[in-house]
Each structure stands twice: as C-alpha cells, then as structure tokens.
Amino acid sequence: MAYLIAAIVLIAVVYGIAKATSGDRYANMTEEEFEAEAKRASVVGAGVMGLQKVIDPGHRVEYVEQAQQQIEADGAESGDGPDRGHPPVPKS
C-alpha cells in the first residue's frame, strides 16, 4: 500500500513539473480558439458550482447566516454615541 501511495505522489510530482515547464497554453491559440476555451471553461465552472450546491447545501445556509449576522453587526450602534435624552448640538 505504501508503494502505491509513493508511486501516485511521484507521478503527480512529475506531471506537475511537466505542466509547469510546458509554458503558457494560451500563447499559441488563435482568438477563436481562446474564446471557445473560455466558453467551455465557464460551462464547466458552472457545472462544478451546481454540483457543490447539491453535495453541500449547508454551505449556502452558513453563508447566508453569516451575511445576516454581519449586516446586523454593521447596523448595531455602539455604546460610545451621544446621550439619547438630549437633542443633538447644532454645528456653527
């Protein structure tokens, strides 16, 4: 089992080095090829986000709750404000 894990790590390292030294894949593309790649990548990204929502719907709930707490905290008044019993002092 240890040999299998070591082999997988070694293959991943070699693959990473090969990808890093291969250069920019967009440098040799035409404008049409680049636009097609960008469109395909956006569709894939949307699919991954949809899959994440199906797999982990609780993450969205936590985000909404945190956003609501932040809004409430931003709207809360601090205790350092003026006394509520007196009218505000006019500026000259």
Q: Do the domain assignments include residue 79?
A: no
If you average pLDDT over residues 7-31, what whole number do you get?
A: 85
Range of the domain at 43: 31-73
Whether 86 has a pLDDT exceeding 80, the answer reads no
- pLDDT for 15 equals 92
Q: Do the domain assignments include residue 22?
A: no
Give dist(CA 23, CA 61) in Å, integer: 41
Give dist(CA 21, CA 26) in Å, integer: 14
Contact 15, 7 (CB under 8 A): no
Q: Do the domain assignments include residue 87?
A: no
Type of residue at 17 = I
How many distinct structural domains can be found in the chain? 1
Q: What is the pLDDT of residues 39-54, one digit of tens each?
A: 888 888 888 888 877 7
Q: Do the domain assignments include residue 5?
A: no
If you average pLDDT over residues 66-82, what whole number do you get?
A: 72
pTM above 0.85, yes or no: no
Is 82 or 61 the better-scoring residue by pLDDT?
61
- pLDDT for 5 equals 94
Q: Do the domain assignments include residue 13?
A: no
Q: Do the domain assignments include residue 68?
A: yes
Contact 52, 59 (CB under 8 A): yes
